Chains A and B, each alone.
Chain A
């Protein structure tokens, strides 16, 4: 029984020792799925497309932010537009049509506030329009876009992103074209902020921990992982929610307690964290990413079939 259990443990857990990690196997081990779960991180989401500003036509820019810097900043602004409703622009196509381009106008001029107090030094009082935010961007519908997208649905995701600062007499007047692209091409097209995965933590107490030691134990882990309960007058530690732990390994710095705890990770339980930039909700992103992988497989299957056919 004990031997079988030990083997089971070897297979299903990666144990974290004090200085290293024991029981780490190659990816051939049956039941270990890290082979294709590796693919499910930032890389995968690089293939999910979004819309972002690609071309900026500058009519007038007298601010101290140079044209190219301004254009770069505008490109990084996340645009709330479902990329699945648009097509990729054909290469070499200069003009852009209504199915592959979105147009935005940014026109801001800074002036002096005539009603400001004489000796005020607060720029918010002295100047009008001295901060250019994304809410100053207006959407210019092309073709039949006005019918397809109701007013206010195509806009930057956040309207309080500061683009530039101006002083009286300075003006920014430009036209932006957004196209569809993927994160692999340029990071501005990435639909996620951060996407990562980790294995589910597995914390077991090898011996009962009571009293002061219980309090100490709960401090060695992330809050919420260890719960100290009052049982028959004594404080007893219990593992409440191992999922919250970030594995700082603080426990191993404590001479008394390090033998009382076994830190491990469940081999085949992955926790993915996906943070979206706001264009698409994270659950849609994950679904789309899975479909991208399926699309790749299908493409190669078709190619193989084409070769075999002739």
Chain B
């Protein structure tokens, strides 16, 4: 366990140093409280707010393996959110996070496809009746 923790610590710090070299800003940090395992992680998402926070939280909570999930904005003028995920012990906390990001993309894609299809339908209908659309 300890080795894995140290490994994770190194991963995080490794990410940070590579940030310092290039101009790339850190978008995501993972903070792990000392003494715990990887089932309880707090993610700091920079330049994000309730749009992503609430959506992710809602979808992560649907997973029965997740014991706790919540997000906060550290300060209303600030530009980041803390997203904390705690699993029951079968999955490392990163897994539900990754899965949900994929699922959210799929949901968006689905909505986008349906929306564009029905817009096309609407425009065709209007065109056949020679009525103007937006």
Contacts and interface: CB of A to CB of B under 8 A. Distances in A.
Given A36-B54, A300-B101, A306-B15, 5 more contacts: A30-B62, A39-B52, A290-B111, A290-B115, A294-B108
Interface of B: 11-12, 14-15, 27-28, 30, 45, 48-52, 54-55, 57-59, 61-62, 94, 97-98, 101-102, 104-105, 107-109, 111-112, 115-116, 119, 134
Contacts of A39: 50-52, 54-55
A21 to B, nearest CB: 20
Interface of B is mostly: helix
Contacts of A30: 62
A216 interface: no
Contacts of A286: 115
Contacts of A290: 108, 111-112, 115
Contacts of A27: 58
Interface of A: 27-28, 30, 35-36, 38-39, 43-44, 47, 276, 281-283, 286-287, 290-291, 293-294, 296-301, 303-304, 306-308, 310
Contacts, number: 90
A294 B45 CA distance: 16
B108 A304 contact: no
Contacts of B115: 283, 286-287, 290
Contacts of A282: 134
A35 B62 CA distance: 11
A270 to B, nearest CB: 11
A266 B130 CA distance: 34
B116 A299 contact: no
A272 to B, nearest CB: 10
A36 B104 contact: yes
Nearest to A308: B94
A182 to B, nearest CB: 11
A297 B97 CA distance: 10
A307 B92 CA distance: 14
26 contacts: A30-B62, A35-B59, A36-B58, A36-B104, A39-B52, A39-B54, A39-B55, A43-B50, A47-B51, A286-B115, A287-B112, A290-B111, A291-B108, A293-B51, A293-B52, A293-B108, A294-B109, A296-B51, A300-B28, A300-B101, A301-B105, A304-B28, A304-B101, A306-B15, A307-B28, A307-B30
